[in-house]
Amino acid sequence: MSNRRLLGVALLGLTLATTSIVTPAQAERLTIVNRNSDSQLKVSINRAVVVESDVPFAELSIANPQIADISSLSDRSIYVLGKQPGTTTLTLLDAQGTLISNVDVVVSADISEFKERLRQILPSEKIEVRTANDGIVLSGVVSSPQKLQRALDLAERYAPERVSNLMSVGGVQQVMLKVRFAEMQRSVSKSLSASLATNGNLLGNLALNSGNGRYSNAGNQANGLAGTLPASNTNAGATMLGFNAGAVQVGVLLEALESKGVVRTLAEPNLTALSGQEAKFLAGGEYPVPVAQDNSTVTVEFKPFGVELNFIPRVVDGDIINLELKAAVSAIDPNNGFELNAFRIDAFKRRETSTTVEMRDGDSFAIAGLLQDDFRDTNSQVPWLGDIPVLGALFRSADYQREQSELVIIITAHLVSPTRGEALALPTDRLRPPSEKDLFLFGKTSKDNTKLRGAAKEVAKQDFTGSYGYVME
């Protein structure tokens, strides 16, 4: 065996002993080198390729041993091992020192295992995997941003900080949120009061003048009762009784009040936003609030009130939608304001919620509900006299108040796509101004619109009739 052959075998044994690599039997035989021809050899990291030369070579050299390692198996076979990503040059010379060939050795990440793992984790996604220089390039169309992120995270395991993303997200990525705010308020107030007054002389010079409740003492019954009954009476019922017992005048005033009220608030805002983008909605107004500054000046800030809605939709996977939502219902409350030197600032009554939910296309969630029941019962009386059976009612006043409110917020999410403009209709499309003949002769304030066609005409025919809301028992 020649010295060159012994040297090649020694180098091969040293390489196999110092590195954990694939044996020559397992290496791929892919490349054949011809004289005076430049070629390219692609090798994966920690994998080996056997290069065959059609001309016997005498000397080998590698430009950068940090990228690839070489050893000769014979005078025609070369063992090339990829060590780290990069490009280097393998040079072959014959016994006379003449150049046989320069081979560009490109060492890249091993993507065969990555491709297999990617097919196992995301089997239905059409993702193409390529190598570029020392990194991985991903391209194709995925169904959701979450699956795109999973593919990128997996690629980072094989090529840290060397992953190029050319993928795009397909499917519907616009979400329309339909929110229904429903609030019912009911109040009941009842009161019953009695006022008694006496005025007169007993046993000559002994005078008597007394009263209770809201009865206003005066010289006679009429004047006494005038203090209680205003010119514009706000009582639901008032009865005045009076009689004389000798020189003593007696006046009795009975007042009764009962009031009931029901308030319904219903709002249905609809809002569309792109996946991952924030959308805002406000139906109401803004209230000016003066704010004192450090330099003794006063500025005006505007606080919004009404129905507010902020949400960020995210299409997670297919038709699964993740919603980060904030909703509020507020109104001006003049009963709890601030007043100073004839200057008044009203307070606000506000109910709000903030939550994150996940649902499918078309599903609904009741994300908030508030049931509030306030009760107040007061009783005032003249000491001892109010405890007398039957007659004690003349010395006693009772007041009963109860307020109930219920607020429910229901959301429905839909994946939506744009449509043609003629398929949409506005609320104003269903009405047309009447002619002078229709207005003055027939008393018509609007005219049917018959020029619309297709879906817009069907929408314009709809009317706001039917059962709405609910009954709070």
| Digit-coded pLDDT (tens) for 100-155 | 888 888 887 778 888 888 888 888 888 888 877 667 889 888 877 778 888 899 98
Among 194, 221, 255, where does a domain finish? Answer: 255
* Bridge partners, 128 (sequence order): 139
Contacts with 106 (C-beta within 8 Å, 6 or more apart), sequence order: 40, 41, 42, 43, 87
32-83 tens-digit pLDDT = 666 666 678 888 888 888 888 888 888 888 999 898 998 888 888 889 998 8
CB 318 within 8 A of CB 143: yes
Is 61 within the bounds of a domain? Answer: yes
CA 189/CA 400 separation, integer angstroms: 6
Domain annotation covers residue 450: yes
* Band (454; pLDDT cuts 50, 70, 90): low
Within 8 A by CB and 6+ apart from 373, the residues are 402, 403, 404
Q: Is residue 80 part of a domain?
A: yes
User: Are 56 and 91 in a shared domain?
Assistant: yes
Quick one: tokens of 212? 């209770």
Strands, E assignment, 83-218: 86-93, 99-108, 126-132, 135-142, 163-169, 174-202, 206-211
Distance CA 85, CA 45 (A): 7
Question: Are 89 and 150 in a shared domain?
Answer: no
- Residue 90 and residue 139 in one domain: no
Report the CATH number at residue 64: 2.60.40.1080
Is residue 198 located within the same domain as residue 240?
Answer: yes
Beta strand pairing call for 28-33 and 48-53: parallel
Q: Is residue 236 part of a domain?
A: yes
* Element housing 304 (H / E): strand 298-317
Say what percent of the chain tops pLDDT 90.
2
Predicted local distance difference test score (pLDDT) of residue 124: 82
Q: How remote is the C-alpha of 121 from its chain's centroid? A: 29
Residue 124 is part of a domain; what is its CATH number?
A: 3.30.1340.30
Domain count, the chain: 4
- For 343, other C-beta atoms within 10 Å of its C-beta total 8
Residue 164 maps to a domain: yes
- Contact status, residue 87 vs residue 107, Cβ threshold 8 Å: yes
Question: Considering 122, 141, 169, which residue would you say is the last residue of a domain?
Answer: 169
> What band does 2 get if pLDDT is binned at 50, 70 and 90?
very low
Q: Are residues 118 and 97 part of one domain?
A: no
Determine the residue type at 302: F
pTM greater than the 0.85 cutoff: no
91 and 124 fall within a common domain:
no
Band of the pLDDT at 453, cuts 50, 70, 90?
low
Statement to judge: residues 104 and 115 lie in one domain: no
Judge if 199 and 141 occupy the same domain: no
**pLDDT tens string 227-264:** 444 444 455 566 667 777 666 777 767 777 777 777 77
Q: Which residue has the tokens 């205003």?
A: 230
Same domain, 189 and 251: yes
Domain for residue 400, yes or no?
Answer: no
Domain that holds residue 217: 185-255
pLDDT in tens, 290-316: 888 887 788 888 988 888 889 999 888
Q: Are 170 and 143 in contact (CB under 8 A)?
A: yes
Residue ending a domain, among 92, 108, 124, is 108
Q: Is the pLDDT of residue 15 over 60?
A: no
pLDDT at 467: 44
Domain assignment present for 121: yes
**Residue among 191, 190, 196 at smallest CA distance from 391:** 196
User: Which tokens hold the place of 35?
Assistant: 């004289």
Output 201 or 398, whichever has higher pLDDT. Answer: 398
Residue 355 has pLDDT above 80, yes or no: yes
Residue 306 and residue 284 in contact, taking contact as beta carbons nearer than 8 Å: yes
Place of tokens 């590195």: 19
| The pair of three-digit structure tokens given for residue 55, joined into one six-digit string | 């001309």
Mean pLDDT throughout 380-405? 77
Q: Is residue 355 part of a domain?
A: no
Give the list of residues 6+ apart from residue 167 with CB closer than 8 angstroms, or none.
127, 138, 139, 140, 141, 142, 148, 151
In the sheet with 39-44, reading across from the earlier edge strand, the strands are 39-44, 99-108, 86-93, 59-62
Residue 329 pLDDT class (50, 70, 90 cuts): confident
Same-domain pairing of 65 and 49: yes
Distance CA 369, CA 181 (A): 10
